[in-house]
Amino acid sequence: MPSPVQRGNEILVPLFDGEALGPALTVKWQQSFSQRSEPYYRVTADNITTGEVLQLFIAAEWFKSSTAANANHISKIATLVPGEGYKITVDERFQFGQKNAQGEARFLVLHDKTRTPYQHRFIETAVASALSRQGEGVADKVLAFFALPKGTASTITDTVKAYIGDYLRNF
C-alpha cells in the first residue's frame, strides 16, 4: 500500500490544461440547510517527498484562471516549476479524505475550508464523471485508485458511501 500523503510533504500540481482535464466536476452537498455545489478539478499530482502519485481535488477558482482578487489561486500560493507545474508543501490549507484510519486511498482537497462536503461526494463525482465520459472501464480505474471495488453505475454511490462517509479532515 502506498504511504498516505502527510503534512509537510512537497507535491507537484500539474499546470492547468483545460483540454486534458475536460470540464470541472460539480461537487454537490448540503450545508446549513441549503443545497450547495461548486466546480472542482481532479488532478493527479506527484508527491515529490515519497515519489508516489496522489489524487487532488482543487477548487476551479483556485486553479483554472488567475485573478488579482483571488489570493488563493495556485499560482499565488505555490512555486512555479516552469513547464512542469506548481510545487507546494502540504499544510493547513489542505484537507483530505481517506478510506480508513490507516490512510488508505488518501486524497487531498484544496479549497475554501468553509465548504463542508462529505468525503464521498468527491469520489462519487469523479467516478460518475469518468463513467459518463469514458465508460465503466475508466470508472473502475478511478474506483481502484481510491481502493474501492469495481462497480456499475447503479452501485457506485452505495459502494462509495459504505467506505467513505465522513467529512474532510484537516492536517
pLDDT at position 65 is: 76
This prediction has a pTM of 0.81
Is 5 part of a structural domain of the chain? Answer: no
Q: Cell 484562471, residue?
A: 65
pLDDT at position 81 is: 97
The 10s digit of each residue's pLDDT in 48-107 is 999 999 999 999 999 987 676 789 999 999 999 999 999 999 999 999 998 888 888 899
Is 1 part of a structural domain of the chain? Answer: no
The amino acid at 9: N
Is 99 part of a structural domain of the chain? Answer: yes
User: How many domains does the structure of the chain reveal?
Assistant: 1
Please state the separation of Cα 171 from the chain's center in Å: 15
Is 80 part of a structural domain of the chain? Answer: yes
Q: Can you give the length of the chain in residues?
A: 171
Residue 94: give the domain boundaries. 10-170
Helix extents (H) in 62-107: 74-77
Q: In the chain, pLDDT over 90 holds for what percent of residues?
A: 52
pLDDT at position 15 is: 94
Return mean pLDDT, the chain. Answer: 84
Of 126 and 170, which is predicted with more confidence? 170
Is 35 part of a structural domain of the chain? Answer: yes
